[in-house]
Chains A and B, each alone.
Chain A
Amino acid sequence: MTAKLDLRGLKKAFGTKRVLDGLDLSLDAGRSLVVIGGSGVGKSVTIKCALGLIAPDEGQVLLDGADITHARGEARAAALRQFGMLFQGAALFDSLTIWENVAFRLLYADRTPRKEARERAIETMRKVRLAPETADLRPVELSGGMQKRAGLARAIIARPQIIFFDEPTTGLDPITADAINDLIVEMVKELGCAALSITHDMASARKIADEIAMIHQGKIIWRGPVSEIDRSGNAHIDQFINGRADGPIQAVV
């Protein structure tokens, strides 16, 4: 079966620093894959290469078997229509209201009439338990958790086939983080889409993942079902999930 998204042999360097070194990763439709790894190992770069925000030096990004690595114009736009993305800091547009943020794709890419776009935005906001009263507020007037909900609503409003989550719980208190994790699981199930998340929050990873993969030195060094993470037999995984400073992974301080 063709993977929904297939990253093949991705390499990316910034100056002399090689971040991705032949990374292979595939994601099947309807599955939730969480990529874990320390800071600066290339998790965000992996997602940005998949989205086309960064061009890899080598390798391919395949969507439903079609190479979109260097797609431009309409081909890129068609690929992006299948994607939704929740950014680490939510990345809401400061100058727009919450409903305009949520409906951004509808308003400016799909040219949906404003009245209809607003109705759909508020309906989607309800799904992520964001009160309709917040629709006319600006992002700066919302808490971090509410901004994440708004970012999630923006990511799912056009019913994407793949959603990317970049550190979805970073900066949130444990209760809010758990609520966001629950929402992610619920939304992914409801949409029936594939999800590719990156995090170093193991509680989040265990909750939202069907499978977990670990990235280290620019490659995937382990991948398996979430139920097997505690008996992976991999020293890197054991060190990471137990949060130990001693082990094969050198802490960067």
Chain B
Amino acid sequence: MTPFRDIGAAVLAILREAGRFSLFVGRATAAVFSPPFYGAQALRQALQIGYFSLPVVGLTAVFIGAALALNIYTGGARFNAEQFVPNIVVLGITRELGPVLAGLMLAGRVSAGIAAEIGTMRVTEQIDAMTTLSTDPLKFLVAPRLLAATLSLPLLVLVADTIGVMGGYLVAVNSLDFNGATYLRNTADFLQSEDVILGLVKAAVFGFIIAAIGCYQGYRSAGGALGVGRAATNAVVAATVLILASNYLITAFFVS
């Protein structure tokens, strides 16, 4: 019966963790909407999470847009559909690659950073100190990060979408002999508001996931430097998996 017991124990452990995470997210979300509010903290986090992520997200977007144009051109040539490069690039970037790649880059950059910062505060008793100073760490540390990430990522994705499309444009015009004005007109004509909205909804959900996972892992870290390192690793892995899973669910919901 040992295998059954082991499987049962593993399932229970997963359920326990899921329960703890759900409770944490519930309390943290409530903290976002209940006073006191720490607006300056939220702005500072928006700067950290959004503004300082612009270079990495922008670079990712431009290269992905360029590679996408090349791939679509090569694939499309097999059935004389090269002219659809602008249409498919803008569709792929806005609906899928913009939000997902921005989300994955931030899962690495931001989620790990949040987990390490809050984890260090946990193991050095700074979170306990904050509590004794009559300040709720959920409101002061977690809520501003949740708010900042949820609002910043859609803005980042808008920038990534634009840069990604321009990456495709640059390759199409300079290497694939497209006419620049025609490329841009085709892009604008083909793009629908629903494509952009889908991407922004995904971005907001991914931003929430990135901050929630980072804060949760940091908040629960224990055991000194080893525990903080583990929290950062777990945050990246969990955020990545959850981003990809929720990406499918959101897409399926919108498509249906």
Contacts and interface: CB of A to CB of B under 8 A. Distances in A.
Interface of A: 48, 51-53, 77, 80-81, 83-85, 87-89, 91-94, 104-105, 108-111, 154
A77 B134 contact: yes
Interface string B156-167: 000000000000
Contacts of B38: 108
Contacts, number: 56
6 contacts: A53-B132, A87-B125, A91-B128, A93-B130, A94-B121, A104-B135
A53 B126 contact: no
A104 B128 contact: no
B126 A93 contact: yes
Given A108-B38, A108-B140, A87 B134 contact: no
B80 to A, nearest CB: 58
Interface residues of B, number: 16
Contact of B129 (A77, A81, A91, A108): A91
Given A85-B129, A108-B38, A108-B140, A91 B135 contact: no
B128 A48 contact: yes
Interface of B: 36, 38, 120-121, 124-126, 128-135, 140
Per DSSP, chain B at the interface is: helix
Contacts of A84: 132
Contacts of A85: 129, 132
Contacts of B124: 89, 91
B128 A53 contact: yes
Contacts of A94: 120-121, 126
A195 to B, nearest CB: 15
A89 B133 CA distance: 16
Contacts of B128: 48, 51, 53, 87, 91
